Amino acid sequence: MSFIEELKRRNVVRMVALYAVASWLILQVADVLFDALELPSTWVRLILAILILGFPLTVIFAWVYEMTPEGLKRERDVDPRQSVTDETGRKMNTLIIVLLVLAIAVVALNRWVPQPATVANQPAVDPKVDGVTVSAPNAVDDQVPDRSVAVLPFANRSAREEDSFFVDGIHDDILTQLTRIGSLTVISRTSVEKFRGTTQSMKEIGNILEVKNILEGGVQRAGDRVRINVQLIKVSTDAHLWAETYDRELTAANIFSIQSEISTAIAEALKATLSPEEKQQLNTASTDNMAALEAYFLGRQSMAKRTSASLADAEQQFKNAIELDPDYALAYVGLANTYELQTLYSSRSNLDATSLKEPLIEKALSLNEGLGEAYIAKAITTDNDDHTETEALFKKGIALAPGYATGHQWYGDFLNIQGRAEEALVQVGEAARLDPLSGIIKVVLGNRLMELGRFDEARAQYEFVSRIDPDFPPAYFALGEFDWRVNGRLDNAIVWFRQAAILDPGNPRNFGALAQLWSGLGGTAEAERSLDIVPSIGSDEDVGICAMGVSFGNGELAEAYGAAGAVLAQDPANGDALLILGLNDLRADRAELAIARYRAAYPPLLDDANPDIGVSNFRIANDIAYLLQKTGDHARAAMLLDRNMAFIQTIPRLGYSGYGIEDARIHMLQGSTELALAATREAVDSGWRASWRYFLKHDSVLEPLHNEPEYQAIIAEVEADMAAQLIRVREMEANGELAPFPE
């Protein structure tokens, strides 16, 4: 008898088939159950390893042993005349058929039973980070790119805890290098930081960050040696695409060389094409000073928190980095960007920030003319009326650093100001794809959605940030703006702004907003209490803006006039200050002076034959039209009003950049009382309450409506609403439901 025939007689062949089919079914069931139980995918690999190891043992067992009516016996001890291998074989055939039927059923179910629908670019199940659900609707639907990668924070495997900043610096530099490779999609630092020390599986992290590949690793520093081990993992299979260990002498040159090698290896593993410029950037060291690198990394961490205190710390860290390495180009960019952010979250004036930023950016570009981040910083500093130079700088910066999420975010801000709202959303959507867990990018994404009238989606972004980062003040500021300008709920807005002020008591914008809200509700004492804080934390410009806003809103033109002058000295294009000074000039029979002031700040609206009206100047256009009518230039006033009406029909009434009650003002300036009343009623019924006290009770344009019964009824309705909201918010404060007022 041949060896093959003996294998068949002893049912070894059947056992191999039975083992293969049974193993396949076990793996399918394990995959489904482990996903449902949220067990690590490594368990599936463990079962596969056990099954592979069991295969030769099973074959040997089938060859050596035979199942008899008396039990299991060694094959050589069984009398051939008493062998039941044929009967055993028939039973095994039946079992194989049953398992094959089950296998076919599993394949059919997997193929034809519909799976739950999911939103494009979003996991089917809300993912979590540290137990907090982190999914949020995405504004821009697209597929996860094949060459997408997240670089998780490296583990510090050194004996000393103080080496953690050294490890973070290496991680930071690798991320920075990878973002310069245009064919890769690299998740930004802010998002991957959420997974420091995580126990979540690669599949879970990949779903949350929406990437197909993850790089993880560790760094060990011992004496004058450093060991870095990294592995690139494919999320869908947990397979290692590439892994390497670097063991070298600890020098800045060696560290940079390792980082460059890692970046190049990742690009090759993901089949990414490197341009000559990208290769040059990968081979250009950012700094050869480890202490400077660590200071820069600390600065970036502090800058991301977006508070007055954290930005002060970021400023100092970047200055430290520059002092340690005067040729560190990225540190100059970081310091310039910090000065820019301090105009929004601290007391630095725009003029001061601009004078400080410009030399820093030029220094960075002189050190590295291919630094994309420097061109982005220059773009937000450039003041060019036709904006072509600014946009060119943004595009150049993004081309050089396509993975720089902040570049896309700020380019989106620029496009939004130009009235290109849909393009702006695309850019901010790209920033969110590169940094999906960044609080500030999600807040800005919400702002862009709000300005397009997609209010539910906007609110979802703000609430998303408050869940994943409950100590992030801009999230509460955005929620306050939403309740104020969309829902008309000034009482709820006070709750949000109070929380923002507690988390960041050094930001004058928080107290300015609180002052305006209390004033809108009629809480004069509370408004004054908020205003009293601003001089101690803000600049003269901040003090002027806050005082001007409250006084102007209450119709106290004389008090607002002095503040407006101080504001205009710092910001010649401030619309409220221009209007206040213009109204004062008009009452003093100096309308031409007011027009000249507007001409200096907004020349296209007064000099161009076909002026563009957009989100940045439509309110100004109405104010100019009012003054032009007073000076007898009715033709240009009519042209501005017609163009303005056409524009505001393309944007929502509510929201931060909504037109509010401007349509009523246009109708009034065009001489249509009936249409003005109808527009006012529509605005109030929709929930508009922003600056209601000024517009409904003190605005010179709407003043002719004051004696109309319908108009008086509208004012009475709003006043009753505000009184009820004031009672509610005071009750919350008395009951301790409202966070204590920050001192």
3-state secondary structure 89-113: HHHHHHHHHHHHHHHHHHHHHHHHC
Same domain, 147 and 107: no
Cα–Cα–Cα angle for 38, 39, 44, rounded to 5 degrees: 130
Q: Supply 612's token pair.
A: 């563009």
For the chain, the domain total comes to 3
The answer on 155 and 59 residing in a single domain is no
d(CA 474, CA 304): 11
- Residues 108, 154 within the same domain: no
Q: Is 95 part of a structural domain of the chain? A: yes
Q: Per the domain annotation, does 260 fall within a domain?
A: yes
Q: Return all residues near 68 (Cβ < 8 A) that are at least 6 apart.
A: 78, 82, 83, 84
Q: What per-residue confidence (pLDDT) applies to 225?
A: 81
172 and 271 inside one domain = yes
Note whether 170 and 43 are same-domain residues. Answer: no
- Is the dihedral angle over the CA atoms 624, 630, 633, 636 positive or is it negative? positive
The predicted structure's pLDDT at residue 67: 65
Q: How many CB atoms lie within 10 A of CB 659?
A: 26
Domain-terminating residue out of 232, 253, 285: 285
pTM: 0.76
Q: What is the pLDDT of residues 56-100, one digit of tens each?
A: 877 676 666 666 666 566 666 665 655 656 666 677 777 777 777
What is the Cα–Cα distance from 121 to 719, expressed in whole angstroms?
46
Chain center to CA of 351 = 28
Strand partners, 221: 226
**Structural domain range at position 562:** 539-601
The DSSP annotation for 182-237 comes to TT-EE--HHHHGGGTT----HHHHHHHHT-SEEEEEEEEEETTEEEEEEEEEETTT
What is the CATH number for 227? 3.40.50.10610
User: Is 279 in the same domain as 146?
Assistant: yes
Verify that 158 and 24 share a domain, yes or no. Answer: no
Q: What is the pLDDT of residue 114?
A: 39
Q: Is residue 373 part of a domain?
A: no
Non-local (6+) Cβ contacts of 272 within 8 A are 147, 181, 183, 184, 266
The half-sphere exposure of 550 on its side-chain side, counting CA atoms within 13 A, is 27
Question: Residue 78 gets which letter from DSSP?
Answer: S
3-17, 340-354, 598-612, 639-653: lowest mean pLDDT where? 3-17
Q: Tell me if 411 is assigned to some domain.
A: no
In a domain, 636, yes or no: no
Q: Which of 548, 576, 601 is the last residue of a domain?
A: 601
Q: What is the pLDDT of residues 429-465, one digit of tens each?
A: 999 998 988 999 999 999 999 999 999 999 999 999 9
Structure tokens at 251: 């020098």
Report the pLDDT value the prediction gives residue 740, as an integer from 0 to 100.
77
Q: CA 618, CA 612: separation in Å to the nearest integer? A: 9
192 and 94 fall within a common domain: no
171 domain-assigned: yes
Q: Is residue 331 part of a domain?
A: no
pLDDT digits (tens, 9 = 90+) for 174-223: 887 888 788 888 888 888 888 888 788 888 888 888 899 998 888 887 77
Domain limit, last residue, from 112, 130, 153: 112
Give residue 488's pLDDT.
96
Q: 264 and 152 in one domain? A: yes
Instruction: State the Cα–Cα distance between residues 491 and 732, nearest whole angstrom.
Output: 10
Do strands 128-129 and 132-133 pair parallel, antiparallel, or not at all (unpaired)? antiparallel
Is residue 147 domain-shared with residue 231, that is, in the same domain? Answer: yes
**Residue 10 belongs to a domain:** yes
Locus of tokens 């305006």: 516
Of 230, 255, 225, nearest to 240 (Cα)? 230
User: What stretches of 239-343 adopt beta strand conformation (E)?
Assistant: 239-249
472-492 pLDDT per residue, tens:
999 999 999 999 999 999 999
**Average pLDDT in the chain:** 84
Residues 242 and 160 in one domain: yes
User: pLDDT tens across 393-402, in order?
Assistant: 999 999 998 8
Residues 253, 157 share a domain: yes
Tell me the sheet residues that pair with 242.
232
